[in-house]
């Protein structure tokens, strides 16, 4: 698939990338607007990270994000194209296919200054550091009212090409340990911009979920000599009871210990570390299967047209532990019944001891029921 990539910068110096799959831009007959005429101050990237000695996890402090844009009216959406009669947005062009830019309210930023001391209050118990990563926004389409699930296969393929490009580029940045591409959808889970978009976080550390996975993977490899995520996929395919869909290169399944009320994983049959290692054929099939999975989500509950969800690509670490990781997509929803959310209360939030309101087999059966 041919896609044209055009790089430029916004008024405050942030990077903006266009990924075009339509003419006249694809063939070079025209160029997207490259000039951002806004008068913007420099991004205030003041994030720091503090080490939680009780959990062994790093916590990011990004107080500047408290003033970020919150549920603007459609005509004030900062992710729509800049068009006559409207205020300038983050996208200077009057139209676009897919656009990616550095977040103006980043949790992580390469230019984040180091704190004055490497220890909070000078105490050895509490190390702190700059949250020196990168956060990007991925606009899936210029159409404000269209969801990812409503995109044509060709546009999903362009989105995937953009994620491949960004995974490769961000993984090469100094100090980056993992790249996470994700989409949040629905106000119920905290989405503050309705325009269909995703985000990419390039972490300067391994998040807690990844560290736990690597511990389990290392233990499994020591015991068996095999890959844990490879064995999980093979076991799910052998059992078949939680398979949602399968094709030549990909299988969608509900994990045997699914914790969310609605959850499905999509994994490649070939062992790959991240999106950048996928072949063209694998990406082509993924575009179709991804849309199939999302369409089933929107049919999962009667009376719910757009299920709130989180979709995230779990990729192998950039450096140490890379051989223990394996690419897979996790899509899940906090909705446990039509218009009723699962709240993480005492046991889950306080102790991290999960209690599911359903079974993985029931989730998988419902996904199969709503297939078209």
Q: Is 2 left (phi over 0), alpha (psi -120 to 50) or beta?
A: beta
Whether residue 105 contacts residue 78, with contact meaning beta carbons closer than 8 Å, is answered with no
Whether residue 15 contacts residue 101, with contact meaning beta carbons closer than 8 Å, is answered with yes
What is the phi/psi pair of residue 249, to 5°? -115, -15
What is the phi/psi pair of residue 178, to 5°? -160, 145
- Residues annotated as catalytic are 197
Query: Who contacts 99 (Cβ-Cβ below 8 Å, separation ≥6)?
Result: 16, 17, 18, 19, 91, 93, 138, 139
Q: What is the DSSP annotation of 183-206?
A: EEE-GGGT----SSEEEEEEESS-
**Alpha carbons 40 and 223: distance in angstroms, whole number:** 56
**Alpha carbons 322 and 320: distance in angstroms, whole number:** 6
Q: What is the DSSP annotation of 225-289?
A: SS-HHHHHHHHHHHH-TTEEEE-SSEEEE--TT--SSEEEEEEESS--SSGGG--HHHHHHHHHH
**Alpha carbons 256 and 259: distance in angstroms, whole number:** 9
Structure letter (DSSP) for residue 323: G
Q: What is the DSSP annotation of 63-97?
A: GGGGGS--S--GGG-TTSB--TTS---SB-SS--S
What 3-state DSSP class applies to 46? Answer: coil
Residue 178: name the closest of 201, 159, 199 by CA. 201
Longest alpha-carbon distance in the chain: 65
For 160, 214, 309, the CA distances from 278, given in Å and listed in that order, are: 10, 22, 25
């Amino acid at each position: 698939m041919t896609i044209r990539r055009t790089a430029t910068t916004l008024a405050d110096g942030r990077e903006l990338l266009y990924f075009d799959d339509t003419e006249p831009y694809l063939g070079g007959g025209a160029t997207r607007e490259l000039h951002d005429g806004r008068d913007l101050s420099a991004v205030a990237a003041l994030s720091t990270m503090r080490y939680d000695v009780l959990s062994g996890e790093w916590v990011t402090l990004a107080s500047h994000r408290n003033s970020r844009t919150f549920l603007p009216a459609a005509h004030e959406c900062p992710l729509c194209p800049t068009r006559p009669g409207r205020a300038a947005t983050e996208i200077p062009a009057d139209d676009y296919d897919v656009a990616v830019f550095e977040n103006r309210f980043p949790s992580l930023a390469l230019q984040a200054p180091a704190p004055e001391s490497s220890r909070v209050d000078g105490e050895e118990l509490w190390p702190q550091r700059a949250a020196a990563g990168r956060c990007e926004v991925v606009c899936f389409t210029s159409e404000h009212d269209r969801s990812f699930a409503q995109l044509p296969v060709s546009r999903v393929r362009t989105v995937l090409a953009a994620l491949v490009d960004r995974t490769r580029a961000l993984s090469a940045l100094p100090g980056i340990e993992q790249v996470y591409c994700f989409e949040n959808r629905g106000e119920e889970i905290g989405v503050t911009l309705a325009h269909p978009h995703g985000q990419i976080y390039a972490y300067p550390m391994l998040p807690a979920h990844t560290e736990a996975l690597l511990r389990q993977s290392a233990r499994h490899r020591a015991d068996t000599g095999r890959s844990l995520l490879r064995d999980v996929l093979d076991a799910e395919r052998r059992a078949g009871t939680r398979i949602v869909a399968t094709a030549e290169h990909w299988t969608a399944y509900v994990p045997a210990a699914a914790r969310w009320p609605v959850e499905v994983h999509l994994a490649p049959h070939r062992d790959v570390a991240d999106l950048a290692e996928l072949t063209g054929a694998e990406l082509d099939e993924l575009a179709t299967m991804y849309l199939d999975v999302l369409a089933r989500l929107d049919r999962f509950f009667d009376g719910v047209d757009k299920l709130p969800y989180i979709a995230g690509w779990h990729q192998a670490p950039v450096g140490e532990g890379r051989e223990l990781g394996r690419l897979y997509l996790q899509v899940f929803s906090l909705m446990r019944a039509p218009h009723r959310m699962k709240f993480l209360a005492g046991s889950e939030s306080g102790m991290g001891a999960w209690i599911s309101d359903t079974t993985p087999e029931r989730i998988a059966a419902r996904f199969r029921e709503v297939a078209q």
